[in-house]
Chain A
Amino acid sequence: MPIDGEASSNDRVKIKAIVVDDDSDVREIFIELLQMNDIQVVANGINGKEAVELYKIHHPDFVFLDYLMPEYDGLYAIEKIREFDPNGKIILVSGSHFERNALGDTVKAIIKKPIEISEIFKAINKMIVPTSV
Chain B
Amino acid sequence: MTLQSKESGAKSSDEWMVSDELKELDAAENELMEKEKHLTLLTNESFSKMKEVSKINRDLQNRIKSLQELSASLNRKNDELKMANQELERKTVRNNQVSLELQEKLERVIQKEKELSMQRDFLAKRLDETTQDLVKAEKFAIIGELSARLAHDLRNPLSVIKNTMDVMSGKPNMKIEERLQHVARFKRAVQRMAHQIDDVLDFVKKTEMVLHDTSLRSIMESAINVILIPPNVKIYLPSNDVLVTCDSRKLEAVFSNIILNAIQATNDNGEVKIRITDISSDVKIEFEDSGQGIPSAIVQKIFDPLFTTKQTGTGLGLSICKNIVEQHGGTITVQSPPTIFTIKLPKTTLQNKTRTSQGM
Contacts and interface: CB of A to CB of B under 8 A. Distances in A.
B159 A113 contact: yes
Given A68-B311, A95-B155, A98-B148, A29 B170 contact: no
Interface of B: 148, 151-153, 155-164, 166-167, 170-171, 182, 185, 188-189, 311-312
Contact of B158 (A30, A113, A117): A113
B152 A114 contact: no
Given A96-B148, A98-B148, A115-B162, 16 more contacts: A1-B170, A23-B160, A23-B312, A25-B160, A29-B167, A33-B163, A33-B167, A36-B170, A68-B152, A95-B151, A96-B152, A96-B155, A114-B161, A114-B163, A115-B159, A117-B166
Contact of A95 (B152, B164, B171, B189): B152
Interface string A47-80: 0000000000000000000001110000000000
Contacts of B167: 29, 32-33, 36
A44 B162 CA distance: 20
Contacts of B170: 1, 33, 36
Interface of chain B, helix or strand or loop or mixed? helix
A92 B98 CA distance: 84
A116 interface: yes
Contacts of A117: 166
A112 interface: yes
B155 A112 contact: yes
Given A1-B170, A25-B185, A98-B148, A115 B156 contact: no
A103 interface: no
A70 B308 CA distance: 11
Contacts of B182: 29
Nearest to B148: A96
A26 interface: yes
A133 to B, nearest CB: 31
Interface of A: 1, 22-23, 25-26, 28-30, 32-33, 36, 68-70, 95-96, 98, 112-117
Contact of B155 (A28, A32, A36, A113): A113
A26 B159 contact: yes
B171 A26 contact: no
A113 B166 contact: no
Nearest to B189: A25
| Pairs of residues from A and B, 8 with the lowest C-beta to C-beta distance, nearest first | A113-B155, A114-B159, A114-B162, A95-B152, A113-B159, A96-B152, A95-B155, A29-B163
Nearest to B188: A25
A67 to B, nearest CB: 9
Given A25-B188, A113-B159, A95 B312 contact: no
A1 to B, nearest CB: 6
Q: Which of B151, B162, B189 has the most CB of A within 10 A?
A: B162
B148 A23 contact: no
Contacts of A113: 155-156, 158-159
Contacts of A23: 156, 160, 311-312
Given A1-B170, A36-B170, A26 B160 contact: yes
Nearest to B182: A29
Contacts of B159: 26, 29-30, 113-115
Nearest to A27: B160
Nearest to B170: A36
Nearest to A33: B163
Contacts of B153: 95
Contacts of B156: 23, 25-26, 95, 113
A22 B311 contact: yes
Nearest to B164: A29
B189 A114 contact: no
Contacts of B164: 29
A121 to B, nearest CB: 13
Given A26-B159, A114-B158, A115-B159, A98 B152 contact: yes
Nearest to A28: B185
